[in-house]
Structure 1
Amino acid sequence: MSGTPAAGGGLSRLPYLLTRALYYYRRDGLAVLARQTILFLGLRLPARLVGYDAWRFFYDRLTRSDRRAIRRDIAGLTHRPLMSLVVPPAGETPSCPDRTIRSLQDQLYPHWELLIAGSRPEGMAPDLDDSRIRFLPAAKTRDAVSSRQALLEAAAGEFVAVLDPGDTLSPQALYRVAREADRAPDAGVIYSDEDRIDDAGRHRDPWFKGDWDPDLFLSQNFLGRLCAVRRSLILAAGGLRPGFGGSADHDLLLRVTETLPPDQIRHIPAVLCHRTGGPTFNRAAGPVSKSEAEAARRLILDHLARRSITAEVVPVAASPGRFRLRRPLSDPAPLVSAIIPTRDRVDLLRPCVDGLLDGTDYAPLEIIVIDNGSTDQETLAYLREVERRGVRVLRDDGPFNYAALNNGAVGVARGSILAFLNNDIKVIHRDWLREMVAEACRPEIGAVGAKLYFPNDTLQHAGVVIGLGGVAGHLHLAEPRDSRGYFEDVLLARSVSCVTAACLVMRREPFEAVGGFDEDRLPVAFNDVDLCLKIRERGLRILWTPFAELYHYESASRGSDMAPDKIERFRRDYRIMCEKWGPTLASDPCYSPNRTQDGCGGGLAFPPRAHRPWRAGKRESGKRRT
């Protein structure tokens, strides 16, 4: 668990602390050593030391030794592909700013070419004259998409990436792409993190991305910049298509990626491109023209047609210009068994069960309530009442074991779809279960989680991040209900590593295949995390959808795991998870190693956990906290 190690240890820890201090000093210098010392002592850092400028200063600079190591690594690559960078015209100005060219000339990887739409400018600075730069005069009759396509066709490189005029690359950018291609020779698409840079050279809005996520990519082109694609795949896909305007890149990348297995779409967790324009998803969405919205919708419709997928494409109300899928249910719809453990607290149970009986548009639905030793007469009377309405009530008076209660109910449930619900869940919209079941029926999806709110309309669940707070934690916890999250991640369906079993829907088959919940070692805490990790081990994805919304009065009936009488059990479960999953808990493929694992997450990681490949396999962060 996170905490300040200075609280104990005494003089016995002094040799270790001195060794760590020497490590930070030798690796990063006195400034980083000072910062780490302040953090170790638990002192509050000044704002200038916790923002993105500070993060870049400490972790995004290349030292002279770094540059030497990168050059040695480049010399050792088994294959050094030519990289083609293309800069299309920006409106009526067919030119490429000097800073874009200089950033290419500063690349540590020398095997590149730059294709610029437009004629060579008169009076071009002599130091910008480079044989690797080609100017392609653009015909005045060409539209923007045709001009971009002409550049792609003229490119000679094995990989092609598009830059907008004014964009710049980190000096390590093309080396990182080449090294990833060397590491994964079958890679077809390689993309990186990015940020924005203004005219004064100030950096902001870092976009630290997760690994490849086909569901998120349907709604959002998160590949962005830098994104290098094999030229052969671009040509095989037919290149850019007219009629898609600003969505033309998204359309092309969708046609490319849908032909590739996931392991051929590679993510480099490093800011390699600094954009002059680009996404502003952390702010309120601005107006989107009708033609832009229609193009975004049409590229999804075309994708569905190519893949023979039946679904309705509907707008995302909270994000104008974005769309998502509403998948149909089979006919007849599968039987869902909703399983709800409970003990007393009829004030919580009644809204939960009534919401299923009267507030949920789904059939056929089997409701199973597991009564774990209720003694309250009002609760017992309510259970008799709902039994008369068809609810199955199972009685188990043994000690509370959440995992065993649910496993036992699955054993008698009749449904092919299982919906695990806490008794403190309250339905908001009638279509929530239909939405989750439609996603859970997909063969590649192992489990589906919902968007949950506390009673005060703040976020309780928007996906679970592995390693957050130690073992796992909820991202965006207690943010406002209308929060846009991090680059709209709370507005769009996306892959996550885990979801809470407070509201979890899945097919019976994968549940039984992984042995259900671990009732022997994890009777109360972390059994949902463990279940999701077992499902992922079988190659299935965990999906979180914001289009199924419910209230969750978290742990209202049994109390918090942090209560004095339960903390020892929680610590035991914590240790079991660390022993069972070990290194898996150190990194979450859906959550960037450049984002913090402290608290509720989302902030910058000081230090990042991202790997610097030229440093002989060493990582930025050392061992994971336990």
Structure 2
Amino acid sequence: MNIIEVQLPGGEPVVVEWNPKYPLTAKWDRRLREAAGKDEAAVAFTWDDAFLRRTRGLRLDPFRLAWPRPHPLLLAQVDCRGRCAIAKSVLQGLHQEGRIASATDTAGALRILADRMPDRIRQVPEILRLTWAEGSPAYRRTGAAPTPSRTATRISVVINYRDRPDLMQECIRGLMRQALRSELEVLLIDNQSTAESVAAVRAACKSLKGRASVRHFTYAEPFNKSAQDNLGAREASGEVIVFLNNDAEMLDVGCLQTISDWALEPDALAAGPRVLGDGDRLVSNGVFIRRAVGGATPLIRENEAKPLQETIRLSAGVSFCCAAVAKATFERIGPFDEQVFKSQYNDADFWLRGLRLGFSNIYVGSVSCRHEPGQSEARTKEKTAALLVRFCERHVDLADYADIDLDVVKLKAIPEFAERGPRWLMQGARLWRKGRARLVDARRLGVSLVRGVAPST
């Protein structure tokens, strides 16, 4: 790790711990000085990452990893050396206080500043750190996962179902493997299942005898997940309510207890685990919100990007295929919308109402559940798009929460890096992209000539 001091226009030097394994974009020191010149109050600067992802065949495309806004919870779990610059006087002061191990511990200082004075941390979008791949060690959690400050004493799990007792058996199997320090209550909401299916579900629940109290309810109206979840929430006796899809299976033995405990943290809205699909495909690594570009609709979506998936951090939302909410918090936010968002976006509507009141969602990447979307409900692109429009019309302030969690965006061009190795690799990627484009043009030209028409330009 190299220690570099950069003299800023105001005379105050900043310190960068630079890792040669993860080079910075060309002229990064100039960009840092320019950013400091525009904001003399800033005492810390951060920037995003770039990596290459194979998209089709051997093609490598560049992507930007937009980091979440600095928060102590996440910064305590990752090594941010090389993606921040801290004022030298601040480092010396924190070192004298005994808050950081050395006067060059930029990562430790950033964590403290994110708690003490987050308004004096500035993002420098013109600088990028090259981490090479989204599976880079730079995104792994360092050390043990943080633990919540409270333990839930009674947990109520709400599960909706219509037929498919096979799915319910897997769901219950996940509950059976849980190691709990809490009392457990399971509330099953049947929605127009056949008598045979109800009997099969009741038989499967017998395995929970002695481990949980099981209560059965019937919702006889057409499918309305919001109404069914609200019914379960009203009847729940636990201090924490866990909304669990009947096609979701908790994998880690501590999944249920861990997310329930995190749901009791001060100002916690909902807590949810990492979600894996078939073949351990990453389905949900938190939720990101992307601002509208060029008149398009803002985007809110579960994050399928790999970086930071093992961490515990704030997120714009968590997947409600498996999510814990303190009952007191649920009652304060209010029930799910049974009229407009009967299923899709009912959780997102709940998140936004909570975020607006100052609550925070917590993504708990230290535990996992399995859920393959689309097994329990049929969806169409047209219906989903229409609901997103209505959602954005209701939540016009959606973009205000766009930097709570990470986002991965494709770059239009491959950045220039100062070091020779990255320059060679990037040049190779550029040549590959250019050569592939020429090959496609040649194929189009050949097809056009065979057909006897002029090629398009």
Fold shared, TM-score > 0.5 on shorter chain: yes
- Structure 2: how far apart are the matches of 1:539 and 1:162? 33
Letter in 1 for 2:387: D
Report deviation, 1:411.
Answer: 0.9
Aligned pairs (5 A) from 1:546-585: 546-562=365-381, 567-568=382-383, 570-585=384-399
Asked if residue 272 in structure 1 is aligned to residue 90 in structure 2, the reply is no
Report deviation, 1:420.
Answer: 0.6
Equivalent position of 1:212 in the other structure: 70
8 Å Cα contact 1:173-1:273 kept in structure 2: no
Aligned pairs (5 A) from 1:11-160: 88=3, 111-113=9-11, 157=12, 160=14
- Structure 2: how far apart are the matches of 1:246 and 1:453? 41
Percent identity, aligned pairs only, is 19
Structure 2 residue matching 1:558: 3-state secondary structure: coil
Letter in 1 for 2:185: E
Report deviation, 1:385.
Answer: 5.9
Letter in 2 for 1:325: P
Asked if residue 179 in structure 1 is aligned to residue 38 in structure 2, the reply is yes
8 Å Cα contact 2:100-2:108 kept in structure 1: no
8 Å Cα contact 1:195-1:273 kept in structure 2: yes
Relative distance call for 1:320 and 1:429 in structure 2 (3 A) is closer
Equivalent position of 2:416 in the other structure: none
Equivalent position of 1:413 in the other structure: 236
Correspondence for 1:440 among 263, 266, 271: 263
Equivalent position of 1:221 in the other structure: 79
Q: Which runs of 5+ in 1 are unaligned?
A: 1-86, 90-95, 105-109, 114-156, 197-203, 287-317, 478-484, 597-602, 607-626
Letter in 2 for 1:399: P
- Structure 2: how far apart are the matches of 1:322 and 1:267? 27
Structure 1 residue matching 2:145: 3-state secondary structure: strand
Equivalent position of 1:522 in the other structure: 341
8 Å Cα contact 1:466-1:586 kept in structure 2: no
Equivalent position of 1:92 in the other structure: none
8 Å Cα contact 1:348-1:424 kept in structure 2: yes
- Structure 2: how far apart are the matches of 1:320 and 1:215? 12
Asked if residue 252 in structure 1 is aligned to residue 109 in structure 2, the reply is yes
8 Å Cα contact 1:355-1:427 kept in structure 2: yes
Q: Report the TM-score when normalising by structure 2.
A: 0.73
- Structure 1: how far apart are the matches of 2:33 and 2:392? 37
Structure 2 residue matching 1:324: 3-state secondary structure: coil
- Structure 2: how far apart are the matches of 1:194 and 1:382? 48
Letter in 2 for 1:162: V
> Which protein is richer in strand relative to its size?
2
- Structure 1: how far apart are the matches of 2:141 and 2:224? 45
8 Å Cα contact 1:500-1:529 kept in structure 2: no
Structure 1 residue matching 2:278: 3-state secondary structure: coil
Correspondence for 1:604 among 400, 411, 415: 411
8 Å Cα contact 1:424-1:555 kept in structure 2: no
8 Å Cα contact 1:195-1:271 kept in structure 2: no
- Structure 1: how far apart are the matches of 2:412 and 2:239? 42
Correspondence for 2:404 among 575, 578, 590: 590
Equivalent position of 1:162 in the other structure: 16
- Structure 1: how far apart are the matches of 2:333 and 2:160? 21
Asked if residue 450 in structure 1 is aligned to residue 304 in structure 2, the reply is no
Q: In angstroms, what is the RMSD of aligned CA positions?
A: 3.7
Report deviation, 1:208.
Answer: 3.2
Aligned pairs (5 A) from 1:235-250: 235-239=92-96, 244=101, 248-250=105-107
- Structure 1: how far apart are the matches of 2:325 and 2:105? 36
Report deviation, 1:345.
Answer: 0.6
Asked if residue 545 in structure 1 is aligned to residue 373 in structure 2, the reply is no
- Structure 2: how far apart are the matches of 1:205 and 1:399? 44
Equivalent position of 1:20 in the other structure: none
Relative distance call for 1:349 and 1:270 in structure 2 (3 A) is same
Report deviation, 1:273.
Answer: 6.3
Moved more, 371-380 or 538-547: 371-380
- Structure 1: how far apart are the matches of 2:276 and 2:390? 29
Letter in 1 for 2:106: D
Report deviation, 1:576.
Answer: 1.2
Report deviation, 1:207.
Answer: 5.0
- Structure 2: how far apart are the matches of 1:352 and 1:411? 22
Relative distance call for 1:324 and 1:247 in structure 2 (3 A) is farther
Relative distance call for 1:265 and 1:540 in structure 2 (3 A) is farther
- Structure 1: how far apart are the matches of 2:372 and 2:65? 32
- Structure 2: how far apart are the matches of 1:170 and 1:266? 17
Equivalent position of 1:17 in the other structure: none
Provide Cα deviations, 1:213-234, integer angstroms capped at 9, x if missing partner: 2221001133743424483x44
- Structure 1: how far apart are the matches of 2:104 and 2:92? 18
Report deviation, 1:400.
Answer: 1.0
Report deviation, 1:283.
Answer: 5.0
Relative distance call for 1:429 and 1:242 in structure 2 (3 A) is closer
Q: What is the count of residue pairs matched by the alignment?
A: 388
Equivalent position of 2:170 in the other structure: 351
Equivalent position of 1:83 in the other structure: none
Relative distance call for 1:572 and 1:193 in structure 2 (3 A) is closer
Letter in 2 for 1:254: R
Relative distance call for 1:501 and 1:273 in structure 2 (3 A) is closer
Structure 2 residue matching 1:173: 3-state secondary structure: helix
- Structure 2: how far apart are the matches of 1:245 and 1:376? 68
- Structure 2: how far apart are the matches of 1:499 and 1:265? 29
Structure 2 residue matching 1:162: 3-state secondary structure: strand
8 Å Cα contact 1:170-1:273 kept in structure 2: no
8 Å Cα contact 2:77-2:141 kept in structure 1: no
Question: Bigger relative contact order, structure 1 or 2, given CA contacts below 8 A and separation 6+?
Answer: 2
Structure 1 residue matching 2:116: 3-state secondary structure: coil
Report deviation, 1:584.
Answer: 1.5
Correspondence for 2:329 among 507, 510, 515: 510
Relative distance call for 1:253 and 1:520 in structure 2 (3 A) is same
Report deviation, 1:235.
Answer: 4.6
Q: Report the TM-score when normalising by structure 1.
A: 0.55
- Structure 2: how far apart are the matches of 1:587 and 1:515? 20
Structure 2 residue matching 1:354: 3-state secondary structure: helix
Equivalent position of 1:472 in the other structure: 300
- Structure 2: how far apart are the matches of 1:174 and 1:457? 44
Correspondence for 2:183 among 364, 367, 383: 364
